Chain A
């Protein structure tokens, strides 16, 4: 992609760009690695999406149409794992790789070889995970939360492959996170103080801390599973004196920060895009940073809100209820700040802005259901129903995924040197917007009406809502093929993009040509108050 910059003569090794497959295998270039992460995430997004469509096909109407229940469970499990670990997290890491050096004026990531490694182990992990579906006894079928003892004593033989692949994903995430932290702390251009960093860098920095704190906990959980399965321990086996609830505590100590890992970078993206298209500085930069940090901190003390029905004592229940409700406060601050950024701006609505606004609105709806779920005495009615499925899909699809799509449209001109087709992108937006709501909004109702999650068949009273969800899901899935086509088209050609295609955009990434040269900022720029964050 792109010609290499002329000022790179000082070192022959760095100057030449390998070609062919080895370029991608051996690359240590943050842009190459960023692109590979993004393509990998897209491939996983389509894979996980395909599984979602199989699930929705089965649930289109009452009765078992296509699958044995055991296979249905494998689909829900692997869909969740692929989307969380294969699509959302690598997409964010890809964006981090591409954009963080460009945003802080660094020539590359601080640890480029590790960067290569952290990407290339990912395909291995997912090949292993997906191949387990073809093994005797099938793939993981215990939900992406893999509660013991269903996943330990009762797991299929392939569970060990699942455990190993989770280990590899975790190692990859930890390496990626260390790289972000080291880069941000050491490679900022002169004058780029912490409080001048673009919010995307801030949110990613905080995400990276979450990652290195919780991925080892996940690794601990799966290791305990492994020893329970094969080495005679009884961590989670009540019959041997162990504790199945311990598993859930360990899992959710990882799992709750994990859900913020899947949203904080989107907060950063919205905080870049909304000011750009409102042509007005971000409202409350400092409070955005503090809100993000408080959300991250609180995310460590709310995990048991996923466990309100496990019978934790009243005192614990109350603590986790209050702490969870508290998260709504910094979350609210962020939403109000985005609205205030739009206020009295001079807005245009290109695709990145449309996706960013939809992100704010729909994410807020997910926040509303979040507050409802936080209220433990009522959560007893919502927990493990489709209401929860609606909640987390509202924060994940329009949250994490719309955020990523907005970012892709926003920076695609920088990456490819071409403008995407605005008309097609708007079509992509409107179809996504309609179908995402058609898919997930009815799930609130089927949940309230009493439909448990993770079931392959249901009573006829849930039929209407499920049919709507299935129709929406097929629309949503097909619409994303349009996205793929738009991207390919933009890479192949299209109107030439200026260095700064968005007149309201701010930031160092817009000071380099489009497409961004293979090597950028070999000489660091100097940051002053004038050219600081948007």
Chain B
């Protein structure tokens, strides 16, 4: 920083003053320093390369600019005739080579550090799904899903979004090309970077992440940790982070994974180890209570009103991303449920697809993701909403019976 301020004073260049701000990490113009040793080293390596590249740019572009002025036809009417110089050519092959070696050395060291996942204190399995994450703590026997918490109507700025070329062109023209949608909404600072259940890790501990995926390739990326790894079905990739500062760190899925790729954030809460232990204990207690509740609920029966109300809520949270709040889906990839054969046909078929999913499509097996009560409410809702007036009620016990019959 002081070196840079001296430089700035020395050259007195406007450009450099903004550069200072960049390298002092005061602005959003540069990579972030992050909160792990790895992210910090990557940040310093990055800054260092940027500076070298800027110096090369000044030399090369400076020479070009000078030449364009000094060797224009006006200033230099008679061109020189030379067409090669072996010495020069060797020189400018050798210099870049040396510069690259200078970069290769620290890069190699840092890479080896990043690949060293040995002796970790805690292991977390991160699994990508279309479009949410599942975090499992195998040693703590905990696992849960984590999905976007920003409500859909916060990001939909328009009363109707186009899904065909003709409609798209129409909407853009109607929107005055760059005009807003017709119902812009307030966006908070954590807009699209907030989730229902955060990933919680202890600070100061070496946390190893085992990264994989259920359906397509996703990528787990937390910029503040300096780690990004693809989540690939059938593969388990390893990365690690030792977070130095408690706090909330936000990232996003970084590999195109289908329709809602832009809507699968990652939020990590790093806490003191004691707090982490307390969190684990509390989670386990919650899990026990939830299991009891579920067992109790599974044994009780609900009224149509209760199931429809819960069902609508659960449907919107879990199913509407694909099948749409209107039940119209986005056919043919995401079929409509309104009037669908499955949602108005025999209950068993409906239970089957919700519980077991459909291989090779985005329809996941929700049997393990939702409680019997949730499944019962969703199925009841789907069978009675949007004109699917089957009048049929599915109770948690039906769900349990179907699962056991399997």
Contact = CB atoms under 8 A, between A and B. Distances in A.
B80 A66 contact: no
Interface in A111-148: 133-134, 136-138, 141-143, 147
B84 A284 contact: yes
Contacts of A448: 29-31
Contact of A71 (B164, B188, B331): B164
A230 to B, nearest CB: 12
A213 interface: no
Contact of A454 (B38, B155, B256, B331): B256
Interface string A69-87: 1110101000000000000
A470 B71 contact: no
Interface string A302-334: 000000011100100110011001101100110
Contacts of B45: 375, 377-378
A332 B258 CA distance: 38
B20 to A, nearest CB: 16
Contact of B192 (A73, A335, A346, A459): A459
Nearest to A364: B60
B46 A372 contact: yes
Given A136-B332, A339-B60, A452-B221, A63 B107 contact: no
Contacts of A15: none
Contact of A73 (B97, B230, B233, B256): B256
Interface string A38-68: 0000000000000000100100111111111
Contacts of A70: 163, 259, 330, 333
Contacts of A336: 60, 88, 92
Contact of B111 (A342, A365, A377): A377
A454 B237 contact: no
A337 to B, nearest CB: 8
Contacts of B85: 283-284, 340
Contacts of A450: 32, 223, 251-252
A54 B172 contact: yes
Contact of A470 (B178, B257, B263): B178
Q: Of A57, A321, A364, A471, which is in contact with the most chain B CB atoms at under 10 Å from its CB?
A: A57
Interface stretch (B4-12, B62-70, B199-207, B275-283): B62-70
Contact of A63 (B64, B181, B229): B181
B93 A65 contact: no
A287 interface: yes
Contacts of A150: 216-217, 256-258
Contact of B103 (A283, A325, A457): A325
Interface stretch (A204-212, A379-387, A407-415, A429-437): A379-387
Contact of B73 (A346, A375, A458, A460): A346
A279 interface: yes
A239 B232 CA distance: 12
Given A318-B108, A378-B49, A456 B165 contact: no
Interface stretch (B50-58, B135-143, B286-294): B50-58
Given A143-B256, A347-B71, A457 B162 contact: no
B191 interface: yes
A449 B28 contact: yes
A344 B80 contact: yes
B76 A339 contact: no
A453 B254 CA distance: 7
A375 B184 contact: no
A346 B72 contact: yes
B67 A65 contact: no
Nearest to B162: A67
A133 B60 CA distance: 45
Q: Of B78, B163, B230, which is in contact with the most chain A CB atoms at under 10 Å from its CB?
A: B230
Nearest to A275: B83
Contacts of B83: 280-285
Contacts of B165: 133-134
Interface stretch (A152-160, A181-189, A416-424): A152-160
Interface in A356-394: 357, 360-361, 364-365, 368, 371-372, 375-378, 380-381, 383-385
A244 interface: yes
Nearest to B111: A377
Q: Of A134, A280, A344, which is in contact with the most chain B CB atoms at under 10 Å from its CB?
A: A344
Contacts of B350: none
A260 to B, nearest CB: 18
B81 A281 contact: yes
B168 interface: yes
Interface in B140-188: 155-158, 161-165, 168-169, 171-172, 175, 177-178, 180-181, 184-185, 187-188
Interface of A: 54, 57, 60-71, 73, 75, 133-134, 136-138, 141-143, 147, 149-150, 153-154, 156-157, 238-239, 242-245, 278-287, 309-311, 314, 317-318, 321-322, 325-326, 328-329, 332-333, 335-337, 339-340, 342-349, 357, 360-361, 364-365, 368, 371-372, 375-378, 380-381, 383-385, 445, 448-450, 452-461, 470-471, 474
| 6 nearest CB pairs, A to B | A238-B234, A455-B262, A63-B157, A311-B237, A344-B80, A346-B79
30 contacts: A63-B184, A65-B181, A66-B161, A66-B168, A68-B330, A154-B360, A238-B232, A238-B235, A243-B234, A244-B233, A279-B79, A280-B83, A283-B85, A285-B83, A321-B108, A325-B104, A326-B100, A333-B89, A336-B60, A336-B92, A339-B67, A343-B63, A345-B71, A364-B60, A364-B61, A377-B107, A377-B110, A378-B107, A381-B42, A454-B261
Interface of B: 28-32, 38-39, 41-42, 45-46, 49-50, 53, 56-57, 60-61, 63-64, 67-68, 71-73, 76-85, 88-89, 92-93, 96-97, 100, 103-104, 107-108, 110-112, 114-115, 155-158, 161-165, 168-169, 171-172, 175, 177-178, 180-181, 184-185, 187-193, 215-217, 219, 221, 223, 226-230, 232-235, 237-238, 251-263, 330-333, 359-362
Given A64-B157, A318-B108, A384-B228, 4 more contacts: A63-B157, A325-B100, A346-B78, A455-B252
